[in-house]
Amino acid sequence: MNHLKTFVLLAALTALFGAVGLWIGGFNGMLIALAIAAAMNLFSYWNADKIVLRLYRAQPVDETHPNAMVRAYVDDVLEMAAGAGLPRPKVAIIPSDQPNAFATGRDPKNAAVCATTGLLDLLTREEVRAVMAHELAHVKNRDTLTMTVTATIAGAISALANFALIFGGDRDRPGGIVGTIALMLLAPMAAALVQMAISRSREYEADRVGAEIAGDPHALARALQKIEAHARRIMNPTAERNPASAQLFIINPLAGKGADNLFSTHPATGNRVRALMEIGERSGLRPGPAASAAAAFTGPTGTSVPTTSDRPRGPWG
């Protein structure tokens, strides 16, 4: 049912794209818009990971990285991927102070998972593992292609609606300039609603599967709370310029300062935390240390991490 629902919603996005083309250029405009949508879907299918990784300036990392914390991050991702029966994914770091993470790629064989430098600086090792397990769950559920294609079409709808002001505001069009302004506002909102419907159910499912992969739903719950608290205070300029890509992240990266952020593609963090705590209770797992106590960390991603035996139990010791 989840796959059927996603297919229907993607078809609705494509139909909306065609409807905007119909309004701007009549029947020929609709055909052109649908042809563009088909071409974009095909291009996104083959280049989904490259598009997003380049957009966010993601830097590939592996087990030979000179930073001990980054090596631990890579080792944990590869270990969990193998345990989940997934092919080896590309692992990358995004140079951003905002703590966040996402996965992309057309299928598990071509997947990439990314964490920001802010995420590695903020969370304990257990919490980083839980976050990346969530991203691997997206890969396992084959959400990455769907989310990238959805973001591509939704962004194109917003751009096409803006073009309507230039090409579709004459008196021969239904509603004239008023209809054009209404189209500029309503088409992106409709696209955002479809994005919400696709993304929210997939986030809950990725939380559940991610908790199974990492074996620690409480760590993911703590991580979500920390990321939510800090992401609201730290701007992600690339996401703000490309709001359609916000659904790729584990927590909404947008600061909520513009009309593009009116509808969130993510479920409420509190609801996700409650669902994870219920999973922990059903599994008989006890919550770990409080987030404030477990967050002790001794250095940014640009420095090596001490591993002395007298260090308190922390993220990378």
Catalytic residue numbers?
Answer: 135
Question: 315 Cβ partners below 8 Å, 6+ apart?
Answer: 69, 123, 124, 125, 126, 127, 128, 294, 296, 297
Query: What is the distance between the alpha carbons of residues 23 and 27, in angstroms, rounded to a whole number?
Result: 9
Task: Give ∠ CA 315-127-234 in degrees, rounded to 5.
Answer: 95
What size, in residues, is the chain? 317
Residue type, 37: A
- Closest to 17 measured CA to CA, from 8, 29, 4, 5: 29
- Separation between Cα atoms, residue 280 and residue 220, nearest integer Å: 11
C-alpha dist (Å) from residue 177 to 77, 183, 187: 52, 10, 15
Helices (H), 215-290: 217-231, 237-241, 269-283
Instruction: Tell me if residue 93 falls in helix, strand or coil.
Output: strand
